[in-house]
């Protein structure tokens, strides 16, 4: 056994480390807000305006939305694999060109349609919603150039609060990718997700964890230093932990069956699955 003095020393050291990290985070936010003009407590309307301004560059593979394009490598296969695990798809469908055929999907916060179109290409009938007018215009314009998709991929300029009451129990799948961190009332958002899901339907969420490490990567490294993400597009106060997401989903009768952390190798712009939850994560839950 370790001497009592050593145990106490380690506990005190851990406490001091925790305090210093929290102080560093708060001081860094204050300093960067002052020096860089960041809006660390932006409203949802601010977020909509920010992404509206980026609409013209949404479909540039190497533009400011490059990381969203790259994220499809993880989030699209996760939907297929998750539905196989949930018993909604046969394992053999993994290797077909249209594994999502016959499924109805809602993409909440679809932006210009990068994720939406990728799921439509796998055979799904999908609706993308977003309150950002210019982004929906971009999404509609782009899908209009895809004759094999335009009959199965539709977009609406609408919020989830407006959409949900009109589509109770309609969807087999709801996806929220890089969306929940831009919403203030996350509980209401997830309540509406549960409302539109069919019993046995799946929800897939990807977002930033609420940690100092996540804030450092998203805001300091990717927004300010490397400029890989739009300036001001992330607000630490809106980040949410994986445990809180799971608890909220449980409150609306959606049971989490998988939680998968992932990470950005920002030096090569590649998203990878990892065994730690410090940065970003994906959650798959089923409505019971």
Q: What is the CA radius of gyration of the chain?
A: 20
* Strand segments (E) across the chain: 104-108, 125-130, 153-157, 171-177, 197-208, 254-265, 270-273, 280-287
CA–CA dist 264, 64 (Å, integer): 15
Cite the annotated binding site by residue number: 75, 109, 130, 177-178, 181-182
Check residue 233 and report its DSSP letter: -
Cite the annotated binding site for S-adenosyl-L-methionine by residue number: 75, 109, 130, 177
Sign, Cα dihedral of 127, 132, 134, 138: negative
Cite the annotated binding site for Mg(2+) by residue number: 178, 181-182
Sign, Cα dihedral of 241, 247, 248, 250: positive
Task: Specify the length of the chain in residues.
Answer: 288
CA–CA dist 187, 56 (Å, integer): 32
């Amino acid at each position: 056994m370790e001497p009592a003095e050593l145990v106490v020393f380690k506990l005190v050291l851990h406490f001091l480390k925790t305090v210093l990290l929290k102080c560093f985070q708060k001081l860094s936010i204050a300093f960067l807000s002052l020096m860089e003009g960041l809006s660390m407590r932006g409203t949802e309307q601010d977020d909509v305006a920010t992404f509206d301004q980026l609409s013209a560059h949404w479909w540039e593979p190497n533009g400011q939305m490059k990381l969203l394009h790259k994220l499809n490598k993880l989030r699209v296969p996760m939907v297929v694999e998750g539905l196989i695990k949930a018993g909604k798809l046969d394992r053999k469908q993994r290797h077909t060109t249209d594994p999502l055929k016959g499924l109805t999907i809602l993409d909440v916060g679809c932006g210009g349609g990068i994720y939406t179109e990728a799921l439509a290409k796998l055979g799904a009938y999908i609706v993308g919603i977003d309150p950002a007018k210019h982004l929906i215009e971009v999404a509609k314009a782009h899908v209009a150039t895809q004759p094999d998709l335009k009959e199965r991929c539709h977009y609406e300029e609408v919020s989830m609060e407006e959409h949900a009451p009109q589509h109770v129990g309609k969807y087999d799948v709801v996806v929220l990718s890089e969306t929940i961190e831009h919403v203030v009332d996350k509980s209401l958002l997830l309540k509406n997700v549960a409302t539109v899901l069919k019993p046995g339907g799946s929800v897939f969420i990807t977002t930033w964890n609420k940690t100092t490490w996540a804030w450092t990567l998203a805001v300091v490294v990717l927004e300010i230093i490397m400029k890989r993400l739009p300036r001001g597009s992330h607000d630490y106060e809106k980040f949410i932990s994986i445990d809180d997401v799971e608890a909220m989903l449980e409150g609306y009768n959606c049971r989490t069956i998988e939680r998968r952390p992932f990470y950005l190798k920002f030096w090569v712009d590649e998203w990878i699955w990892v065994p730690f939850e410090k940065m970003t994560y994906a959650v798959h839950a089923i409505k019971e």
